[in-house]
Every structure is written in C-alpha cells, then in structure tokens.
Amino acid sequence: MVIFTIILLQSCTKDEAPLTPSGLSEAYSLPQGNNAFDQTIMGYHQSYGTYMLYKFTDKDVYWSPTANSKPVMSAVGTWSTGADVAVADPTYIPAQLDLIKKKWFNFYTDKFLKKFLPAKIMLCSKIDSVSTGFVFGGSTITYVKNVKKVAAYYNYDNIEVNYGDASVATLTKQDSLGFVARINLVFIQSIIARGLSTPTSEFINSADYTTAMTTTTQAYGKGIIISPFSVTVQADWNAYITAMVSFSEANLNKSTVITDGTAQGILNPTKDTTGQIRKRYNMVRNYFINEYQVDLQKIGNASKGV
C-alpha cells in the first residue's frame, strides 16, 4: 500500500512549528516515485520524521531565513562559500541508501536519529565545495573558483549526501573511510548549528569559565579544550563532541605538543596536565551512551579504520 505524506517546510528542527520563506507554503510529498527504494525512504520518514529527497530545487537546498546559500560570484570575481549540488541518479540510489545506512545511520540508535536528523536529506549525484582561489601574476591577482568534491554538506535544514552516481560502485577503502568521517562530522555540525545539544549541569559545573585565561596551558589545566580567548561552556561542549567523532582514541591519547591547535593528544598528559580533560571527556561520552545508547567515540575510531 502506497502511503502519501505532506510536510510543510520546516526550519531547524522537525519538532518546531513550520517556517516558510516569505510566507509561501512549500510542501513535500512522499513517495517521490514508484521505485522499490521509495519504500525504504518512506520507512525512514515514518521512523525519524526526516524527508529524503531525490527530486528537489535550488530553493529546497539553499534557502534559509537570512540568505540564499548557493555559491555565487561577486562583482569583483570572488566566490561565496557553499556547495554546488545535483540530484541523484535513481539508478544508483539503492546503493547510495545502503551506504548511508552502513556508514551513517548504523552508528546511532533510533532515539538519536529521531531527535537529531534534520528535516531534509538531499540525495545527490554531485556535491562540490566552492571557495575562492587566487592566481598571482606580477602585480595583479586573478580570482578563480576552487571546486572540491565532498561526501556531504550541511545547510540550514538539510544535509546533502553525495554518491548518488556511478562512483558509489567503485568506492575504495579510503573513500569509505572518508565518507564515514565526513558524513558523521557534518551530522554533528548540523546538530550544533541547530542548537540541539546542550551541556549537562555536571559538565557546566566541572570547570571554571569565569576566571580569565591567557594561555592554552591554563585552559587545558581546567579541562577546557577551546581557545582561552573565546570561552563559552557551549563551545567547549561542542568541541568535545566534535573531537570524539573526528579522532580515534589512539589519536586522542597520542603525546602531542601543547601548542598543537587540534584535539589530537587531549587525553595524553602532555596536554592533559591535570587529568581534567579526560574527566570531562568521560562526562560527555557517558552522557550520550546513557541517554541515547550511542558511543560517539566509536565513530571517530571507525573514521580512522579502527
């Protein structure tokens, strides 16, 4: 039996009241076709409330309340940051959906996905990250469009996922690891951008955020892993989550000079001089394990092939 569903364009979360651009009602209907994979897409919608779309417009991808995020060239030749996308080829969507399930969804529980997936997931055959490049010629500078293929991208209420094309059948081991790393980092970044994960009271009370700091060493000593010059408890919480999905435990435990600006080595005594970072790391990790039965560190391990 075909199930027909309509959703009004939602903003940052699936549970908030609908927001529409300029008061216009944008409706999405499922299924978008009569392919066998449409039933898989319907199942995800019924379980998590997210809409996987393989038929979409630029407005569906790029619109937000404040701007259109589609990359454009300025009058002087520079490019705005963003991503160029194209819809998936239906021939390859079954394999793309399998990739999404194995390398993304399987790391999380239904409870986690229902709460944190965005309103829309765009199935794409192309996602090119766009930025401005510079060519120097004597006393002149020429701007060029830099394009880099990426596995996923986040914009406002949607995550765009690549490999809805023939390349999904020829992914190397390195490609697969790169997909794990990119899609799960983008997912976490989207959760952070939508303000859906907030620090626990235990985390808030476990470090001194009020006394001014002037060095990274001072921050690390308190268990704070963000810059001492832009300290907020929310940013610190976000940094811990991001570190777990970006680095393996081996990376985090590796002895690394304290001047290194990445999260590598934050659990090693070289950086964690007082043991406070490991203590607070365990608070964050155990929160997601206890609340959602999700171990975020397993994602960071998997992204490094561990």
Domain ranges for the chain = 5-193, 201-303
CA gap 285, 15 in Å, rounded:
25
Q: Which residues of the chain have pLDDT under 50?
A: 1-13, 15-25
- At 14 the pLDDT is 53
pLDDT at 207: 96
pLDDT in tens, 77-102: 889 888 999 999 999 999 999 999 99
Residue 279 CA to residue 281 CA, distance in Å, equals 6
Residue range 97-139, pLDDT digits in tens:
999 999 999 999 999 999 999 999 999 999 999 989 888 877 7
pLDDT score for 138: 72
Long-range contacts of 254-262 (CB under 8 A, 24+ apart): 258/216, 258/217, 258/220, 259/216
pLDDT of residue 64: 86
Residue 22 burial class via C-beta count within 10 angstroms: exposed 0-12, middle 13-18, buried 19 and up:
exposed
How many Cβ atoms from other residues are within 10 Å of residue 130's Cβ? 18
